[in-house]
Amino acid sequence: MELKLMNTAVQTPELARLSKENCAVSFDGDLVTGELLTGTPTVTVLPLGPIITAIATSSAIVEILGAEVPIGRAVVWTMDATVAGGGSVVKGKTYRATVTVATDAGRVLVQKVKFIGC
């Protein structure tokens, strides 16, 4: 499989303490015509902290930064600011999510998004 690394997204969303946020990353610009995301994506966050759940490829059109991303061309997940073991994200601390997903063409794509605790 080909591994393609992407740059960290330009925007830096805030993750409010004790909140639960729906997150999404578009891979639309990285896919060729007819290519779709497949399998089970992974989302890891460093430093360890926010709890990640409900990771999936998009099963509906998703709006990301004002653009509609077609089905199967984005990864969606829920990020809970409550950290494992109790507590919450740290105000002002930067967390980096790495999103990895395969395509039906046999490629592996990676996007990185950073979040700021607030």
State the total domains in the chain: 1
* C-alpha atoms less than 13 angstroms from C-alpha of 27 in its C-beta half-sphere: 32
Domain assignment of residue 7, given as a range: 2-117
Mean of pLDDT over the chain? 83
Query: Domain holding 14: CATH number?
Result: 2.60.40
Q: Which of 41, 16, 39 is nearest to 26 (CA)?
A: 41
pLDDT in tens, 48-57: 778 889 999 9
pLDDT in tens, 17-44: 666 888 899 999 999 999 999 999 999 9
